[in-house]
Amino acid sequence: MKVLVIGSGGREHTLVWKIHQSPKVSKVYCAPGNAGTLSMAENVDIRADDINALVGFAESEGIDLTVVGPELPLTHGIVDEFEKKGLRIFGPNKKAAELEGSKGFTKDLLKKYDIPTASYSIFDSAGDAKRYIKEIGMPIVVKADGLAAGKGVIVCHEEKEAIKAIDSIMVEKVFGDAGDRVVIEEFLEGEEASFMVFTDGKSVLPMLSSQDHKAIYDGDKGPNTGGMGVYTPAPVITPDIFSEIMDGIIMPTIEGMAAEGRPYRGVLYAGLMIAKGSPMLLEFNVRFGDPETQPILIRMESDIIPIIEAVIEGNIDKIDIKWREESSVCVVMVSKGYPGSYQKGKGIEGLEDAERMEGVEIFHAGTRLNQGNLVTDGGRVLGVTALGIDIKEAIRKAYEAVSMIHWEGVYYRRDIGRKALLKTKLKIKN
Ligand code: AMP
Ligand code: GLY
């Protein structure tokens, strides 16, 4: 079977790595890919959002299965276009991808099906939004309705921050049309966790729970990024909370989407806040998380291809996923300046030694080859991912590998996994 993976980040390198191991797969392509995908796939020079060119490539190359990494082609309807041509593709169609494409759509769906989430109001006029802000007081969260490359959410502790957020989203239109509407939400306090499932629109297969670290600096300080590191499992997701997530959030969403005439197929990612011991939905993503995919797929023992095929064919109730017992941690190494502006083209050293470590995989994100030399080519550069007998061992191994790798201006958080470690220690003491 020939498989095409769409995207160029750490998530896509991980998907290529996992798909390439399947005995059912003869060749993997990645569009556009990075220097990491090159060693197991043929990189194809087509952008992830160039849907026409991707359809053309899949047809002419006889691709048997396409797996979409990022949200943009999904919300633009890549699945609909592939299916029109009879091409097999993994992911939700355009109507189902609204779960990530419009925060307003999602909030209304959550309300209709009584799914726990922060209370909210939606506005399409800046004046009304500002009046509301003055009325309800702080803290609040202002969200651009549409896709804003992960930057459209502003947590506001002061009124003037909230007014500024409305001006930049709705008046200056810094996110374009994505700011035609805003959602203004109650601020929730608690601990965040990520929870992903495979679903064929009827049944659900959960993956492992995990916890991302969104802020750039240690101690969750500084601006938000795409994600600076993840560990799995997340001890904050206790067995009781797991059941609440499945019964109170995931299943009602899947059933609600089907009832709305938008059956959902693919990976559904729930970004959760565990607030006062109960899970609340912060956001849905209609794709695998990045970097959640790195430490989760490193623990997946099963072949991923039969799972993907079962999602497309609508029979995942017949499938089980086998997971490795170990814990895993992914530490993301980034370019200095990220998530703001940064330089590219810095030579990366020490990768071969780190790659030789047992139970360590290094997934590339922003990398490319420059005359045979590996150089940085993005904000998030590498996801150093390690398995360990427990979270402590996985953290130790990931950071040992990280310490072997260097480039000018490299930065990473030093505290990935610390929260899980503290929880585990507390449990032992109790
Ligand atoms: P989202 O893209 O909606 O997940 O928001 C990005 C980040 O903003 C989340 O990971 C949270 O850290 C924060 N956030 C979003 N909504 C809320 C909320 N209602 N209360 C507190 N923090 C939030
Ligand atoms: N790690 C957050 C995301 O994939 O959106």
- Give a yes or no: residue 104 inside a domain: no
pLDDT (0 to 100) of residue 386: 98
Do 19 and 80 belong to one domain? yes
- Give a yes or no: residue 89 inside a domain: yes
pLDDT tens digits, 52-80:
999 999 999 999 999 999 999 999 999 99
Do 250 and 301 belong to one domain? yes
Do 304 and 343 belong to one domain? no
pLDDT of residue 430 exceeding 90, the answer is: no
Tokens 């703001």, residue located: 340
Do 8 and 44 belong to one domain? yes
Atom of ligand 2 nearest to the CA of 291: 1
- Give a yes or no: residue 75 inside a domain: yes
Do 169 and 226 belong to one domain? no
Instruction: Name the domain boundary from 155, 186, 217.
Output: 186
- Most distant CA pair in the chain: distance in Å? 61
- Give a yes or no: residue 217 inside a domain: yes
Q: What is the pTM of this model?
A: 0.96
Lowest mean pLDDT among 134-138, 226-230, 269-273, 382-386: 134-138
Token representation of residue 217: 């600096």
pLDDT (0 to 100) of residue 134: 93
Nearest to 3, CA basis, from 35, 40, 36, 39: 40
Query: Could you tell me if the CB of 185 is within 6 A of ligand 1?
Result: yes
Ligand 1 mutation target, pool 282, 283, 284, most atoms within 8 A of CB: 282
Q: Give residue 385's domain range.
A: 327-429
Do 257 and 174 belong to one domain? no
pLDDT of residue 429 exceeding 50, the answer is: no
Separation CA 146–CA 140 (nearest Å): 18
pLDDT of residue 428 exceeding 80, the answer is: no
Instruction: Name the domain boundary from 144, 163, 186.
Output: 186
Instruction: Name the domain boundary from 318, 351, 370.
Output: 318
Which residue's CA is the nearest one to ligand 2's atom 4? 289
Ligand 1 mutation target, pool 107, 119, 141, most atoms within 8 A of CB: 141
Do 83 and 142 belong to one domain? no
- Give a yes or no: residue 113 inside a domain: no
CA of 285 to the centre of ligand 2 (A): 8
Domain count for the chain, please give it: 4
Q: What is the CATH number of the domain that holds 385?
A: 3.90.600.10
Lowest mean pLDDT among 45-49, 221-225, 411-415: 221-225
Query: Could you tell me if the CB of 188 is within 6 A of ligand 1?
Result: yes
DSSP string over 320-388: ---B-SSEEEEEEEEETTTTS-----PBPBSHHHHHTSTTEEEEESSEEEETTEEEE-SSEEEEEEEEE
Q: Which helix (H) or strand (E) holds 67?
A: strand 65-68
Do 355 and 275 belong to one domain? no
> Average per-residue pLDDT in the chain?
96
> What letter would DSSP give residue 406?
B
Q: What is the CATH number of the domain that holds 67?
A: 3.40.50.20
pLDDT tens digits, 162-209:
999 999 999 999 999 999 999 999 999 999 999 999 999 999 999 999
- Give a yes or no: residue 366 inside a domain: yes
CA of 415 to the centre of ligand 1 (A): 21
